[in-house]
Chains A and B, each alone.
Chain A
Amino acid sequence: MTDKLKRILYVEDEADIRTVALLALEALGGFTVDLCHSGSEALSRAPDFRPQLILLDVMMPAMDGPTTLSLLRELPQFAATPAIFMTAKVQPAEVAHYLELGAVDVIPKPFDPMTLASQVQAIWSRCHV
Chain B
Amino acid sequence: MSDPDDFQAKLKALCADFATHLPGKLERIEQAWQQLPHDVWDAAGFQSFNSMVHGLSGSGKTFGFALLGAAARTLEDYLKPILRAETVPNEEQRQHIRDLLGELHQAQYQRATAPP
Contact = CB atoms under 8 A, between A and B. Distances in A.
Interface of A: 14, 16-17, 19-20, 23-24, 26-30, 57, 59, 61, 88, 109-114
B59 A16 contact: yes
B2 A112 contact: no
B92 interface: no
A27 B6 contact: yes
A57 B58 CA distance: 10
Interface residues of B, number: 22
B62 A110 contact: yes
Nearest to B69: A110
A20 B7 contact: no
B108 to A, nearest CB: 14
Nearest to A19: B14
A28 B11 CA distance: 11
Contact of B7 (A14, A23, A61, A109): A23
23 contacts: A16-B63, A17-B58, A17-B62, A19-B14, A20-B14, A20-B63, A24-B11, A27-B1, A27-B2, A27-B6, A27-B10, A28-B2, A28-B7, A29-B1, A30-B1, A61-B51, A109-B58, A110-B58, A110-B60, A110-B62, A110-B69, A111-B62, A113-B116
B45 interface: no
B8 to A, nearest CB: 9
Contacts of B55: 14, 16
A88 B73 contact: yes
B54 interface: yes
